[in-house]
Amino acid sequence: MTKKHFIWCLILAGVAAGSSLALERPTEYVQPPEPEPVPPPRRTLETFNPLQELARSQDYSAARASSYQRQGGPRDNTWIPTTGEETTLADIRGPGAITHIWTTHRGEGRDLIIRIYWDGSPHPSVEVPIGDLFGVAMGINAPANAAPVQASSEGRARNCWWHMPFNRSARITATAPHSENNQSRATVPLYFYIDYRTYAEPIEDLNYFHARFLEADPPERGKPVTLVEAEGDGHFVGIVMGHRCRMDGWFGEGDDIITVDGTVSFLGTGTEDYFCDAWGFRVFSSPYHGCAFLEGRNAGDRLSVYRFHILDPIPFRKSFKFQIEHWPWISSLPNTGRGYYSSAGFWYQKTIHKAWPRLEEILSNAPWDPDKGRWNVQGSLEAEELRIVSFRGPAGPPKIQKSLLNLSGDHLLLFNAGGNGEFSLEVPGEEEGSAAVTFYFGRAADYGIVEIRVNGKRIGDPIDTFLKKEDLTRQVWPPRAYRFPDVPLKKGINTFQFSVQAKNPESEGFMIGLDCLVIEPKGP
């Protein structure tokens, strides 16, 4: 080593002035040594690089199936009849793999259903509306730019890059289900091409590509929505989820729940959190997660989001289930939403999945019903539907408060008693005699202590409907049931009176929130 290099090494080693080895600051530029690699190991280790693969010899042949006009001319499309029959787009002999699908058509993402059958199976392993298969839910034409799927030309040009291997055959079909667009035309003109490989030998370690579309409208109260469910030995690789609100406000407090081989293995922290976003959604695209479309947070607004497990697939050996809670922000309880959910789940598995119920119709293609899924206490008389006989209070008669979840019928009869007020309702009685009556009262930080009289006679003890809020974020919590086992009733019209003369010392007001009541006659 030369003196110049020795000085340079000491400088790099951080020898400071004043140390035991004193050095003069160099007065001229000292050239560093030329960089060079350390000696490689005896066996060359190569990391995966897709561009590096292009320098290797390819062990397959490539071809394309498309909708080109066999008779010549510029109309290179296939006509898909809107009468519901299945049209074969391509029937490819194996062994091979589909590597790329491109499509476009005049219409929307749920005007067509794409099915793929592997190796002669009589039932499809892929059965998804064309828009959802290519990354955008809700039948919307919107751009997306994910790793396995992209949509451009305002969402009308769709590309799919999922690798789909097979050994004997691959049959791809299209069907036009009933939709608003399809009912006004006889056929849907579909332009497409399908790029594929063929191999000389069968694929030994073969995992079949699967994709299935599911809908929940409305979701079942008290249970999470199932978005993906599979049986077999494979790995989950992603989901495209759609949602449409039936209530104003944020819908996505629900957590994701992933069960692998019968064991809950993933519990998430919120709907947008699973899709790798935070504090709600906004429109964006990235390779593995994104939001292709978002209308807002009002009733009727639609959403399309995706999450692809390209870098982090989730293996399963026997079964896989992906669920998500339906939990609007206004609700204090999970799985109490009424919004529409859809899902296109994607996975690979070693065997062709057993047949699932055929997708004959798409629920979201039907006219939108904003009142669908309204929840009611069984056998209840809704307070907002009973006739108001009289009232006394500082703010006028009772008012119907709408659009509150966890309320029977989504409505509450709200009254400000002002510390010395009351109101009365007409309640029908089916027969003379004693009955068990259950009252469902809302609870909140400004609610009072309610006294009840039936036909002028007080029943039971007063009910404190105050809710100590503390750090609770919801203004009105679910109604609580208060049961009075022996209430004398007349056959015909009964007068039920509700008054507030007092309140909890911590309460901020004298409000009454009556949701509904249930009468169980005991006979004479």
pLDDT along the chain (524 residues), means of 10: 48 44 61 79 70 89 93 85 95 96 96 98 98 98 97 96 98 95 92 96 96 97 96 98 92 95 95 97 97 96 98 97 93 88 98 97 95 90 96 94 77 93 95 94 92 96 88 68 95 96 94 96 74
Residues 315 and 460 in one domain: no
CA-based nearest residue to 255, from 175, 145, 335, 180: 335
Whether the CB-CB separation of 181 and 112 falls below 8 Å is answered with no
The CA distances from residue 212 to 124, 194, 240, 461, in Å, are 9, 20, 10, 55
| Domain CATH for 144 | 2.60.120.1390
**409 vs 400: CA distance, rounded Å:** 11
- pLDDT confidence of residue 405: 67
Q: What are the two backbone dihedrals, phi and then psi, of residue 460, each rounded to the nearest 5 degrees? A: 60, -170
Residues 28 and 81 in one domain: no
- In the chain, what is the straight-line distance between the N-terminal and C-terminal CA atoms, in Å? 113
Residues 325 and 457 in one domain: no
- The 3-class secondary structure across 278-290, one letter per residue, is CCCCCCEECCCEE
- pLDDT confidence of residue 47: 67
Residue 523 CA, distance from chain mean position: 48
CA-based nearest residue to 231, from 345, 354, 377, 408: 354
Q: Which two tokens stand for residue 3?
A: 């003196």
Q: For residue 381, which amino acid is it?
A: L
Residues 395 and 345 in one domain: no
Which residues are CB-neighbours of 523 under 8 A, at least 6 positions away?
A: 431, 433, 434
| Domain CATH for 419 | 2.60.120.260
Q: Is residue 47 part of a domain?
A: no
How do strand 208-216 and strand 126-129 relate by DSSP bridges? parallel
The CA distances from residue 16 to 7, 26, 186, 306, 314, in Å, are 12, 13, 85, 55, 53
Q: Is residue 48 part of a domain?
A: no
- Count other Cβ atoms within 10 Å, centred on residue 193: 16
Q: Supply the DSSP string of 281-350, one letter for each residue.
A: ---EE-SSEEEEEE--SSTT-EEEEEEE-SSS-EEESSEEEEEE--B-TT-SSSS----EEEEEEEEEES
Residues 88 and 227 in one domain: yes
Residues 289 and 435 in one domain: no
**408 vs 383: CA distance, rounded Å:** 9
Q: Is residue 249 part of a domain?
A: yes
Residues 427 and 333 in one domain: no
Q: Of 336, 365, 394, which residue constitutes the final position of a domain?
A: 365
Q: Of 365, 398, 426, which residue constitutes the final position of a domain?
A: 365
Q: Is residue 236 part of a domain?
A: yes
> Any long-range contacts for 8-14 (C-beta under 8 Å, 24+ apart)?
8/32, 8/33
- Angle (CA) 131-321-292 rounded to 5° is 25
Residues 286 and 335 in one domain: yes
Q: Is residue 58 part of a domain?
A: no
Residues 67 and 22 in one domain: no
What predicted TM-score, i.e. pTM, was given to this entire model? Answer: 0.84
Residues 88 and 12 in one domain: no
Residues 219 and 336 in one domain: yes
Q: Is residue 138 part of a domain?
A: yes
Q: Is residue 52 part of a domain?
A: no
Q: Which two tokens stand for residue 290?
A: 């994104």
- pLDDT confidence of residue 20: 43
Helix (H) or strand (E) holding 72: none
Number of domains the chain is built from: 3
Q: Is residue 39 part of a domain?
A: no
Residues 352 and 389 in one domain: no
> Quick one: residue 292, left, alpha or beta (phi over 0 = left, psi -120 to 50 = alpha)?
alpha
**Structural domain of 443:** 381-521
